[in-house]
Amino acid sequence: MKIITISLSFLIFSQSVGFSVKDVLQIGDFFEHAQYHNEQYGDSLLEFISKHYGVLKTEHEQEHQEEREKHEKLPFQQTLQVGATAFILQSVEIQIKSIDFSELRDVQFHYLQSDSSLHSQKHLQPPRLS
């Protein structure tokens, strides 16, 4: 049971950090290129990491264009963008006041005959009381 828990924890951690299987398979290229930097430039492991993943990365890429193919084969070169959306639901109490409708008991309807020709042809008729 412990092994399952540890392996699931490692899986969740590696996915949240951004490790992929491709990165794990490229670890050999990482150490090979670090050894190359140690032999050619006398760089320590921390200097190598700084040149390829840290502050000196842009400067190193500009100075050593011939190593571009080797740099692309190094692990952890992908970019990861995370966008988090946060929203807060607030409970708002809305009070609706009821409106009293009073019935109209007295019908007060007044109509004046129009002099328009449309009314005389019975196309437009006013409402009638039944």
Q: In what helix (H) or strand (E) does residue 47 lie, and over which residues does it extend?
A: helix 45-53
Tell me the average confidence (pLDDT) per consecutive run of 10 residues in the chain, 130 residues long: 91 77 82 88 88 84 82 76 78 78 63 62 63
CA 24 – CA 82 distance, rounded (Å): 22
CA 47 – CA 121 distance, rounded (Å): 98
Domain ranges (residues) in the chain: 2-72
pLDDT of residue 61: 82
pLDDT of residue 118: 59
Residue 95 is which amino acid?
Answer: Q
pLDDT of residue 94: 82
